[in-house]
Chain A
Amino acid sequence: EPEVTQTPSHQVTQMGQEVILRCVPISNHLYFYWYRQILGQKVEFLVSFYNNEISEKSEIFDDQFSVERPDGSNFTLKIRSTKLEDSAMYFCASSLLSGALNNEQFFGPGTRLTVL
């Protein structure tokens, strides 16, 4: 069964460093998403991406964040200069369609980011 994969499973970085979290969405999906879950809290939407551009982003997704689909299979989230409060689990998700038709999102296993 196709699945969303994410690498690495755990990333440790120093404050101020740049990190890139990688995701491989399901191959025929068109919509891609990043969510964040700070430890013990709920899952929060960061950004959605379609047709090589951001379609929606939350207030969390500030200028420190960027997303890219560099090669047609990977979908990346970059944090330019990490802060302690960026420590969280980051989930990638993809869906075939959007809106009312069939917007089931398939989630990856997550990348746990620890900023020291």
Chain B
Amino acid sequence: AQKVTQAQTEISVVEKEDVTLDCVYETRDTTYYLFWYKQPPSGELVFLIRRNSFDEQNEISGRYSWNFQKSTSSFNFTITASQVVDSAVYFCALSERGFNKFYFGSGTKLNVKP
């Protein structure tokens, strides 16, 4: 069973549109961490955010915002007023208590067109 599911394989939007990337996770642990990474065409993984399971407050960082809902096991990522530079593959990841590895989702490729 997938621990992290990103159902959207690819999304295309026009610049300045808002876009939400979905992430659903599965864990039996009460303590865990969730992450979002951006992978631009150059290939590196760029850390965006970490959230622990005890902090359900939504977070906003500039045009980026994250909505963490334990009730639905979701950790969705919204980009407001998207820009061409946001074009990348975005990965959601889960790390569980006592384990020292990440489970990555399959990624969502975001295409932002001018």
Contacts and interface: CB of A to CB of B under 8 A. Distances in A.
Contact of B100 (A43, A48, A91): A48
Nearest to A105: B102
Interface of chain A, main secondary structure: strand
Interface of chain B, main secondary structure: loop
B104 interface: yes
A88 to B, nearest CB: 11
Interface string B86-114: 00000101010111111111110000000
Given A43-B91, A110-B45, A100 B101 contact: no
A4 to B, nearest CB: 10
A110 B43 CA distance: 7
A33 B45 CA distance: 14
Interface of B: 31-33, 37, 43-45, 47, 50, 91, 93, 95, 97-107
